[in-house]
Structure 1
Amino acid sequence: MIPDAVLDEADVAGAPVGKAARDAGVPAWLRNQGKLHLRFARAEGGDTRLVGRGEGGCLRVRVPRGGRGDPPEAIVVNTSGGLCGGDVLEQVVEWGNGTQGLVTTQAAEKVYGSQGHETRIETRISAAGGARAHWLPQETILFDKARLHRDTHIDLASDARLLWAESLVFGRVARGERFATGTLRDRVRIRRGGKLWHADVLDLGRGLSSGAALAAPALGNGAQASGMILVVHDECAAQLAPLRELLATLNGAHASASFWRGLLSVRLLARDPERVRTGMARALEYLMGGAALPRVWRC
């Protein structure tokens, strides 16, 4: 457990979602304001069903049909095709008691360059007693001059299980573009049993240009992509050694894993984004017990 005192003054847990972005001065008719609210619950017979589904603005969700008894898979779609300065996404996903379900995205999210206003993504995840929550979106691509502020707040019951992943690509590599002058503030807070369990902040491009930070040996060491996986449950310590063996076999990516008090953390860095994607996929399949990733990951 991490005491609340470690939170910095800019932490917004409990603040109205998207408030700062609404005050940014960009005309509302020029913004994307995507809203999504999903709720998983157990149906008769014990199967999990997506029983709550609120969609607004540019965000939609599709649920492919699976086999009887298979956990549902929700695929989030951004119909705008990308995000610009002043755009706001608000996402809320709830797993009820004893449920299991997976949320992913149809494709990589793109954050375009901005003349000054930030793009904001606010995500709130909760998992009740005995739930198994999988949050596995595809990567987020930061174009040069992108300004992204992303906040993720996760609230877990003490016996809920979480598998969470996010990855970033710094520029359009195929076009020789680097994320050289934008800004990124990416914050994750996990609370377990009502107590702060994990706090992580990645902040690039404020006092130091994002390109310089990524090039510095002690920071990005020239990386063009990064990935992070978090696992929370009491038995995940047993997965640490096999996972480290798997990460040691990856080519072209720096990867490591650590464990502390019911939380397993995996981080990856690479100059080639495909190496991070491949490493993330292999690690996630292991952590999912050999189950295949969503089909959209393989398209």
Structure 2
Amino acid sequence: MTAYSPARPAAPTGAEDAGHRFDAGRRWAASLELGFASRQGTTRLARARHRGPLRVQRPFYPEGRDASGRSGACHLYLLHPPGGLVSGDALSISAEVEAGAHALLTTPAANKLYRADHHDVAWEQHTRLRAADGSCLEWLPQETIAFDGSRGGQSTTIELAGEARCLGWEVLALGRPASRLPYVSGRIEQRFRLLRDGQPLWLERQLLDPAHPRFRGRWGQGGASVQATLWAVGLGDEADAIEALRERLPESPRWAVTVRHGVLLLRYLGSERNEAWRLCESAWRVLRPRLIDREACVPRIWRT
């Protein structure tokens, strides 16, 4: 794939030198900063700055224009050439969508969280997404696979202003059961914050530690190896959206849907990565027309 990089990378800093170490002080930072703006009815990638192995492919516009002449979402693929996080990696991704703009962000492949090195050095991944009043943001990364022994922390912060709309998901698979390598050691901490005009709508912290009773307890993870969360903010009729999901998604005790503080949340807890992905994609097809009055347009990278 051809990487899109209109801005020159930032100059190396002394902290980056730690990436060449192999002791407990190892650290390799990478960052990506994106900005989207509406220009004559079309969402443009107005800003793209990167440091380290984070890039974007050139924007795509597969949705055409509506009756009013406005183009559909700007589809953008986030690229991390290493394909996963190892001990000492520190990734930072930020994106800002200005008023009137519509961005759909996804990834070309699953993200992998590899086993910690013998120093047990953790990795970090931080994502911050901001959407201005009158904008729309879709955050649809492919799934994350955590290898046995992986140690690190993930945080996702979404800041909405005014009447901004947002739809997204996160799918996490623990271990590699097909290779008979379950997730039996390691420690992953996840934090999620969703705010509108600075006020919290949904705050969550989750610790995934096979040594903790919650990991196996029926009151917690229950031994499940795959989990997914989908959210939608800005729906006009939340009750109708929930009814449509219950009618069109396959009935199963492994998923449930609810609304709290204006945030529709769909949860999956099970053992099948493909099932979780299909569920999220199907829910997205149901919810997108209700959120932005446009049918779902599947990024072609998902089919390659």
Q: Same fold (TM over 0.5)?
A: yes
Q: How far apart, in 1, do the equivalents of 2:222 and 2:112 lie?
A: 23
Pick closer, same or farther for the CA change 1:234–1:193 going to 2, 3 Å: farther
Query: 2:60·2:76 contact (CA, 8 Å) conserved in 1?
Result: no
Secondary structure class of the residue paired with 1:279? helix
State the one-letter code of the partner of 2:180.
Answer: G
| Unmatched 5+ stretches in structure 2 | 1-13, 22-26, 65-70, 290-294
State the one-letter code of the partner of 1:255.
Answer: W
| 2:91 match | 89
Q: How far apart, in 1, do the equivalents of 2:248 and 2:255 lie?
A: 10
Q: How far apart, in 2, do the equivalents of 1:235 and 1:262 lie?
A: 10
| 2:256 match | 256
State the one-letter code of the partner of 2:228.
Answer: G
Secondary structure class of the residue paired with 2:283? helix
The match for 1:292 among 292, 297, 301 is: 297
Structure 1 position 66 matched with structure 2 position 67: no
Deviates more, 1:224-233 or 1:62-71: 62-71
Query: 1:64·1:74 contact (CA, 8 Å) conserved in 2?
Result: yes
The match for 1:27 among 18, 41, 49 is: 18
Q: How far apart, in 1, do the equivalents of 2:237 and 2:106 lie?
A: 22
Give, in angstroms, the shift of residue 191 of structure 1.
1.1
Q: How far apart, in 1, do the equivalents of 2:28 and 2:176 lie?
A: 22
Q: How far apart, in 2, do the equivalents of 1:280 and 1:32 lie?
A: 32
| 2:47 match | 52
Query: 1:240·1:257 contact (CA, 8 Å) conserved in 2?
Result: yes
Q: How far apart, in 2, do the equivalents of 1:108 and 1:133 lie?
A: 21
Query: 2:38·2:101 contact (CA, 8 Å) conserved in 1?
Result: yes
Alignment of 1:102-251 (within 5 A): 102-115=104-117, 116-205=120-209, 209=211, 213-237=214-238, 238-247=240-249, 249-250=250-251
Identity %: 30
Secondary structure class of the residue paired with 1:51? strand
Give, in angstroms, the shift of residue 145 of structure 1.
0.5
TM-score (norm 1): 0.84
Give, in angstroms, the shift of residue 234 of structure 1.
4.8
Give, in angstroms, the shift of residue 284 of structure 1.
1.4
| Unmatched 5+ stretches in structure 1 | 1-21
Q: For 1:25-76, what per-residue CA distance to the aligned partner results, in whole angstroms no more than 9, with x for missing partners?
A: x9332544221111110102x2111111112211111135324523211101
Q: How far apart, in 2, do the equivalents of 1:73 and 1:63 lie?
A: 9
Give, in angstroms, the shift of residue 236 of structure 1.
4.8
Secondary structure class of the residue paired with 1:288? helix
Query: 1:32·1:58 contact (CA, 8 Å) conserved in 2?
Result: no
State the one-letter code of the partner of 1:273.
Answer: R
| 2:100 match | 98
Give, in angstroms, the shift of residue 214 of structure 1.
3.7
Deviates more, 1:91-100 or 1:287-296: 287-296
Q: How far apart, in 1, do the equivalents of 2:235 and 2:60 lie?
A: 31
State the one-letter code of the partner of 1:297.
Answer: W
Q: How far apart, in 1, do the equivalents of 2:175 and 2:237 lie?
A: 34
| 1:275 match | 275
Q: How far apart, in 2, do the equivalents of 1:119 and 1:40 lie?
A: 28
Pick closer, same or farther for the CA change 1:109–1:250 going to 2, 3 Å: farther
Query: 1:55·1:61 contact (CA, 8 Å) conserved in 2?
Result: no
Give, in angstroms, the shift of residue 165 of structure 1.
0.7
Give, in angstroms, the shift of residue 91 of structure 1.
0.4
Secondary structure class of the residue paired with 2:297? coil
Q: How far apart, in 1, do the equivalents of 2:269 and 2:254 lie?
A: 5
Give, in angstroms, the shift of residue 233 of structure 1.
1.0
Secondary structure class of the residue paired with 1:283? helix
Give, in angstroms, the shift of residue 133 of structure 1.
0.4
| 1:12 match | none
Give, in angstroms, the shift of residue 213 of structure 1.
4.0
Q: How far apart, in 2, do the equivalents of 1:151 and 1:124 lie?
A: 8
